[in-house]
Amino acid sequence: MKPKTKRQKLKEKLLAFGYSEESIKKLFQARQLPPLDKAFALHDNFGVNINIWRDIKSYLREDDTKKGAHNARQSS
């Protein structure tokens, strides 16, 4: 079984929190951001790091298995 991507994991958490498919699509395209109270609630209830909303597109592009490559790019 293939491990879930960051996108899949975050989508599951957002659905459980009450976001619609359309709202999630806007969030993932960075056309919409969660209000601070919801961002904090997502953090408190589901462990969603608040800082991912600064650059959600980059966060979603990174696959969980590619963390090392991302860190190498940041340090250069």
Q: In this structure, is residue 11 part of a structural domain?
A: yes
Cβ 54 vs Cβ 30: under 8 Å:
no
Q: In this structure, is residue 37 part of a structural domain?
A: yes
Q: In this structure, is residue 72 part of a structural domain?
A: no
**In sequence order, which residues have a C-beta less than 8 Å from that of residue 5 and are 6 or more positions away?**
63, 64
Q: In this structure, is residue 71 part of a structural domain?
A: no
> Tens of pLDDT along 26-69?
999 999 999 999 999 999 999 999 999 999 999 998 865 465 54
Residue range of the domain that includes 13: 6-63
pLDDT higher than threshold 90 for residue 74: no
Q: Please, which pLDDT band fits residue 1 given cuts at 50, 70 and 90? A: confident
Dist CA 10 CA 4 (whole Å): 10
Q: What is the pLDDT of residue 47?
A: 96
Cβ 19 vs Cβ 33: under 8 Å:
no
Contacts 24+ apart (CB under 8 A), 39-45: 41/17, 42/13, 42/14, 42/17, 45/17
Domains contained in the chain, number: 1
Q: Taking the complete model, does pTM exceed 0.85, yes or no?
A: no
Q: In this structure, is residue 30 part of a structural domain?
A: yes
Q: In this structure, is residue 75 part of a structural domain?
A: no
